[in-house]
Structure 1
Amino acid sequence: MSDVQETIIPLYEEAVSVTRRKVDQGRFRIDVRVVERDQAIEQTLDRQDVEVERIAVGRVVKTAPEIRQHGDVMIIPIVEEEVVLVTRLVLREEIHIRRKTTQRTELFTVTLRSERAEITRTGVDDVVSEISGDQHD
Protein backbone atom coordinates (compact mmCIF):
# COMPACT_ATOMS: atom_id res chain seq x y z
CA MET A 1 0.00 0.00 0.00
CA SER A 2 0.95 3.45 -0.49
CA ASP A 3 1.69 6.01 2.16
CA VAL A 4 0.09 8.84 0.27
CA GLN A 5 -3.04 10.09 1.79
CA GLU A 6 -5.61 11.76 -0.25
CA THR A 7 -7.10 15.01 1.05
CA ILE A 8 -10.22 16.45 -0.48
CA ILE A 9 -10.48 20.27 -0.44
CA PRO A 10 -13.94 21.62 -1.23
CA LEU A 11 -14.10 24.68 -3.56
CA TYR A 12 -16.80 27.33 -3.19
CA GLU A 13 -18.13 29.80 -5.70
CA GLU A 14 -20.27 32.88 -5.00
CA ALA A 15 -23.03 33.93 -7.37
CA VAL A 16 -24.92 37.24 -7.56
CA SER A 17 -28.65 37.36 -7.97
CA VAL A 18 -30.20 40.76 -8.82
CA THR A 19 -33.87 41.40 -8.18
CA ARG A 20 -35.97 44.55 -8.16
CA ARG A 21 -38.58 45.58 -5.66
CA LYS A 22 -40.65 48.72 -5.25
CA VAL A 23 -39.88 50.86 -2.24
CA ASP A 24 -42.35 53.54 -1.15
CA GLN A 25 -40.21 56.62 -0.46
CA GLY A 26 -43.06 59.03 -0.15
CA ARG A 27 -46.16 60.29 -1.88
CA PHE A 28 -47.24 63.58 -3.35
CA ARG A 29 -50.48 65.48 -2.86
CA ILE A 30 -51.22 68.35 -5.22
CA ASP A 31 -53.85 70.93 -4.29
CA VAL A 32 -54.76 73.46 -7.01
CA ARG A 33 -56.49 76.67 -6.06
CA VAL A 34 -57.50 79.72 -8.10
CA VAL A 35 -56.28 83.09 -6.94
CA GLU A 36 -58.08 86.22 -8.13
CA ARG A 37 -56.61 89.69 -8.18
CA ASP A 38 -57.89 93.00 -9.47
CA GLN A 39 -55.76 94.95 -11.89
CA ALA A 40 -56.43 98.50 -13.04
CA ILE A 41 -56.10 99.13 -16.78
CA GLU A 42 -55.83 102.63 -18.21
CA GLN A 43 -57.05 102.99 -21.79
CA THR A 44 -57.23 106.10 -24.00
CA LEU A 45 -60.44 106.25 -26.02
CA ASP A 46 -61.11 108.46 -29.06
CA ARG A 47 -64.45 110.05 -29.81
CA GLN A 48 -65.38 112.09 -32.86
CA ASP A 49 -68.05 114.77 -32.71
CA VAL A 50 -69.23 116.97 -35.57
CA GLU A 51 -70.27 120.58 -35.49
CA VAL A 52 -72.81 121.69 -38.10
CA GLU A 53 -72.78 125.40 -38.96
CA ARG A 54 -75.14 126.95 -41.48
CA ILE A 55 -73.66 129.95 -43.31
CA ALA A 56 -75.88 132.19 -45.46
CA VAL A 57 -74.30 133.01 -48.84
CA GLY A 58 -76.94 134.51 -51.21
CA ARG A 59 -74.67 134.51 -54.28
CA VAL A 60 -75.87 133.81 -57.83
CA VAL A 61 -74.09 130.88 -59.48
CA LYS A 62 -74.34 129.36 -62.96
CA THR A 63 -74.04 125.73 -61.84
CA ALA A 64 -74.40 123.99 -58.50
CA PRO A 65 -71.04 123.89 -56.71
CA GLU A 66 -69.71 120.47 -55.76
CA ILE A 67 -69.14 119.30 -52.22
CA ARG A 68 -65.61 120.32 -51.24
CA GLN A 69 -63.16 119.92 -48.40
CA HIS A 70 -61.39 122.91 -46.86
CA GLY A 71 -58.91 121.71 -44.21
CA ASP A 72 -60.93 119.74 -41.66
CA VAL A 73 -64.23 121.29 -42.87
CA MET A 74 -66.51 119.61 -45.42
CA ILE A 75 -68.60 122.19 -47.31
CA ILE A 76 -71.95 121.08 -48.76
CA PRO A 77 -73.58 123.73 -51.00
CA ILE A 78 -77.38 124.17 -50.88
CA VAL A 79 -78.94 125.76 -53.98
CA GLU A 80 -82.43 126.73 -55.04
CA GLU A 81 -83.91 128.09 -58.18
CA GLU A 82 -85.21 131.62 -58.09
CA VAL A 83 -87.57 133.05 -60.69
CA VAL A 84 -86.63 136.43 -62.03
CA LEU A 85 -87.06 137.15 -65.69
CA VAL A 86 -84.69 134.26 -66.10
CA THR A 87 -84.07 131.20 -64.01
CA ARG A 88 -80.78 131.29 -62.17
CA LEU A 89 -79.15 129.38 -59.36
CA VAL A 90 -78.67 131.25 -56.13
CA LEU A 91 -76.33 129.79 -53.53
CA ARG A 92 -78.46 130.34 -50.41
CA GLU A 93 -76.27 128.74 -47.81
CA GLU A 94 -73.51 126.26 -47.18
CA ILE A 95 -73.40 123.67 -44.51
CA HIS A 96 -69.97 123.40 -42.92
CA ILE A 97 -69.29 120.13 -41.11
CA ARG A 98 -66.20 120.03 -38.94
CA ARG A 99 -64.85 116.90 -37.30
CA LYS A 100 -63.54 117.28 -33.81
CA THR A 101 -61.65 114.47 -32.08
CA THR A 102 -61.47 114.40 -28.31
CA GLN A 103 -59.65 111.93 -26.11
CA ARG A 104 -60.42 110.76 -22.62
CA THR A 105 -58.66 108.33 -20.39
CA GLU A 106 -60.73 105.82 -18.48
CA LEU A 107 -59.67 103.51 -15.69
CA PHE A 108 -61.01 99.97 -15.85
CA THR A 109 -60.70 97.28 -13.21
CA VAL A 110 -60.52 93.70 -14.41
CA THR A 111 -60.25 90.49 -12.41
CA LEU A 112 -57.40 88.19 -13.40
CA ARG A 113 -57.23 84.56 -12.26
CA SER A 114 -54.19 82.34 -11.87
CA GLU A 115 -53.81 78.84 -10.50
CA ARG A 116 -51.43 77.86 -7.74
CA ALA A 117 -50.45 74.25 -7.10
CA GLU A 118 -49.29 73.25 -3.63
CA ILE A 119 -47.34 69.99 -3.70
CA THR A 120 -46.89 68.08 -0.44
CA ARG A 121 -44.49 65.13 -0.35
CA THR A 122 -45.05 62.71 2.46
CA GLY A 123 -42.52 60.19 3.53
CA VAL A 124 -39.28 60.39 5.45
CA ASP A 125 -39.15 64.21 5.30
CA ASP A 126 -42.32 66.21 4.64
CA VAL A 127 -41.52 68.77 1.91
CA VAL A 128 -43.95 71.43 0.69
CA SER A 129 -43.28 73.45 -2.45
CA GLU A 130 -45.56 75.85 -4.28
CA ILE A 131 -45.79 76.18 -8.05
CA SER A 132 -47.62 79.24 -9.31
CA GLY A 133 -48.96 80.02 -12.75
CA ASP A 134 -48.95 83.68 -11.64
CA GLN A 135 -45.61 85.18 -12.61
CA HIS A 136 -46.61 88.76 -11.69
CA ASP A 137 -46.15 88.68 -7.88
Structure 2
Amino acid sequence: MSDDIQRIPIIEEQARVSKRVVDTERVTVRTRPEDQDVVVREHLSRERVDVVRVAVDREIFEVPAIRTEGDVTIVPVVEERLVVEKRLFLVEELHLHRQVERTEVAVPTTLKRTQVEVDREPITPQENH
Protein backbone atom coordinates (compact mmCIF):
# COMPACT_ATOMS: atom_id res chain seq x y z
CA MET A 1 0.00 0.00 0.00
CA SER A 2 2.73 2.35 0.64
CA ASP A 3 3.94 1.84 -2.92
CA ASP A 4 0.81 3.49 -4.29
CA ILE A 5 1.49 6.88 -2.64
CA GLN A 6 3.23 9.39 -4.77
CA ARG A 7 4.74 12.46 -3.31
CA ILE A 8 4.66 15.72 -5.26
CA PRO A 9 6.88 18.48 -3.95
CA ILE A 10 5.17 21.92 -3.58
CA ILE A 11 7.24 24.88 -4.58
CA GLU A 12 6.48 28.34 -3.28
CA GLU A 13 8.04 31.54 -4.49
CA GLN A 14 8.46 34.57 -2.24
CA ALA A 15 9.16 38.18 -3.18
CA ARG A 16 11.15 40.53 -1.05
CA VAL A 17 11.59 44.30 -1.51
CA SER A 18 14.62 46.04 -0.18
CA LYS A 19 15.27 49.78 -0.03
CA ARG A 20 18.38 51.88 0.10
CA VAL A 21 18.95 55.62 0.40
CA VAL A 22 20.27 57.28 -2.74
CA ASP A 23 21.25 60.96 -2.90
CA THR A 24 19.80 62.50 -6.05
CA GLU A 25 20.82 66.14 -5.63
CA ARG A 26 22.57 68.62 -3.37
CA VAL A 27 20.75 71.71 -2.19
CA THR A 28 22.60 74.81 -1.02
CA VAL A 29 20.63 77.54 0.74
CA ARG A 30 22.22 80.95 1.29
CA THR A 31 20.64 83.87 3.08
CA ARG A 32 21.80 87.44 3.08
CA PRO A 33 20.29 90.36 4.96
CA GLU A 34 19.20 93.32 2.95
CA ASP A 35 18.34 96.81 4.18
CA GLN A 36 15.90 99.01 2.36
CA ASP A 37 15.64 102.71 3.22
CA VAL A 38 12.06 103.91 2.94
CA VAL A 39 10.05 106.93 3.99
CA VAL A 40 6.85 106.10 5.85
CA ARG A 41 4.12 108.70 5.27
CA GLU A 42 1.07 109.25 7.43
CA HIS A 43 -1.52 112.00 7.86
CA LEU A 44 -1.83 113.58 11.28
CA SER A 45 -4.82 115.56 12.53
CA ARG A 46 -4.77 118.40 15.00
CA GLU A 47 -7.92 119.98 16.39
CA ARG A 48 -7.81 123.66 17.32
CA VAL A 49 -10.55 125.57 19.12
CA ASP A 50 -11.16 129.25 18.40
CA VAL A 51 -13.04 131.12 21.14
CA VAL A 52 -15.34 133.96 20.09
CA ARG A 53 -16.89 136.03 22.85
CA VAL A 54 -20.44 137.13 21.97
CA ALA A 55 -21.91 139.83 24.24
CA VAL A 56 -25.56 139.16 25.16
CA ASP A 57 -26.33 141.18 28.35
CA ARG A 58 -29.94 140.16 28.87
CA GLU A 59 -31.82 139.08 31.93
CA ILE A 60 -32.59 135.39 32.27
CA PHE A 61 -34.38 133.38 34.94
CA GLU A 62 -32.35 130.19 34.95
CA VAL A 63 -28.87 129.16 33.89
CA PRO A 64 -28.92 127.97 30.25
CA ALA A 65 -27.37 124.62 29.44
CA ILE A 66 -24.29 124.25 27.30
CA ARG A 67 -25.51 123.58 23.76
CA THR A 68 -24.20 122.75 20.31
CA GLU A 69 -25.37 124.41 17.10
CA GLY A 70 -23.79 122.78 14.05
CA ASP A 71 -20.07 122.64 14.74
CA VAL A 72 -20.22 125.38 17.41
CA THR A 73 -20.43 124.62 21.13
CA ILE A 74 -22.00 127.47 23.10
CA VAL A 75 -21.04 127.88 26.77
CA PRO A 76 -23.18 130.44 28.65
CA VAL A 77 -21.43 132.84 31.06
CA VAL A 78 -23.72 134.24 33.75
CA GLU A 79 -23.42 136.66 36.64
CA GLU A 80 -25.70 137.73 39.40
CA ARG A 81 -26.43 141.46 39.59
CA LEU A 82 -27.89 143.18 42.56
CA VAL A 83 -30.77 145.34 41.47
CA VAL A 84 -33.44 145.78 44.11
CA GLU A 85 -33.60 142.09 43.95
CA LYS A 86 -31.17 139.55 42.72
CA ARG A 87 -31.59 138.70 39.02
CA LEU A 88 -29.73 136.42 36.68
CA PHE A 89 -28.19 137.94 33.54
CA LEU A 90 -26.64 136.19 30.59
CA VAL A 91 -23.50 138.21 30.14
CA GLU A 92 -21.94 136.51 27.17
CA GLU A 93 -21.63 133.23 25.34
CA LEU A 94 -18.42 131.58 24.33
CA HIS A 95 -18.75 130.17 20.84
CA LEU A 96 -16.15 127.45 20.33
CA HIS A 97 -15.40 126.69 16.68
CA ARG A 98 -13.51 123.46 15.99
CA GLN A 99 -11.11 123.36 13.09
CA VAL A 100 -9.21 120.28 11.99
CA GLU A 101 -5.82 120.75 10.40
CA ARG A 102 -4.25 117.84 8.53
CA THR A 103 -0.55 117.61 7.86
CA GLU A 104 1.51 114.88 6.31
CA VAL A 105 4.59 113.66 8.10
CA ALA A 106 7.45 111.73 6.52
CA VAL A 107 9.57 109.56 8.80
CA PRO A 108 12.69 107.99 7.28
CA THR A 109 13.25 104.44 8.47
CA THR A 110 15.09 101.28 7.43
CA LEU A 111 13.23 98.05 6.74
CA LYS A 112 15.16 94.79 6.96
CA ARG A 113 14.48 91.63 5.01
CA THR A 114 16.39 88.45 4.20
CA GLN A 115 17.00 87.32 0.65
CA VAL A 116 17.19 83.52 0.17
CA GLU A 117 18.96 81.82 -2.72
CA VAL A 118 18.52 78.07 -3.35
CA ASP A 119 20.88 76.22 -5.69
CA ARG A 120 20.18 72.61 -6.73
CA GLU A 121 22.93 70.43 -8.18
CA PRO A 122 22.13 66.92 -9.46
CA ILE A 123 24.32 64.06 -8.24
CA THR A 124 25.57 61.60 -10.85
CA PRO A 125 25.22 57.86 -10.11
CA GLN A 126 29.00 57.51 -9.70
CA GLU A 127 28.93 59.98 -6.76
CA ASN A 128 26.38 57.87 -4.84
CA HIS A 129 28.89 55.14 -3.90
TM over 0.5: yes
Q: Cα distance 1:87–1:23, how it changes in 2: closer, same or farther (>3 A)?
A: closer
Deviations 1:40-97 (A, max 9, x none): 2322221111112223322111222221112211111111111111111111121111
1:124 to partner: Cα distance: 5.9
Q: What residue in structure 2 maps to residue 37 of structure 1?
A: 36
Task: Give structure 2 stretches of 5+ with no counterpart.
Answer: 1-16, 125-129
- Percent identity over paired residues: 35
Aligned CA RMSD, in angstroms, stands at 2.5
Moved over 3 A (4+): 18-26, 120-125
Q: What residue in structure 1 maps to residue 110 of structure 2?
A: 111
Which structure features the higher share of helix residues? 2
Q: Cα distance 1:62–1:20, how it changes in 2: closer, same or farther (>3 A)?
A: closer
Q: Cα distance 1:86–1:23, how it changes in 2: closer, same or farther (>3 A)?
A: closer
Q: Normalising to structure 1: TM-score of the pair? A: 0.65
Deviations 1:80-131 (A, max 9, x none): 1111111111111211111111111122333222221222345669xxxxxx
The alignment of Structure 1 onto Structure 2 pairs a total of residues equal to 109
User: In structure 2, what residue type is equivalent to 1:86?
Assistant: E
1:33 to partner: Cα distance: 1.6
Is contact 2:26–2:123 with CA below 8 Å preserved after alignment?
no
Superposition pairs for residues 1-137 of structure 1, below 5 Å?
Answer: 22-122=21-121
1:19 to partner: Cα distance: 6.5
Q: Cα distance 1:93–1:121, how it changes in 2: closer, same or farther (>3 A)?
A: same
User: In structure 2, what residue type is equivalent to 1:64?
Assistant: V
Task: Give structure 1 stretches of 5+ with no counterpart.
Answer: 1-17, 126-137
Q: Normalising to structure 2: TM-score of the pair? A: 0.68
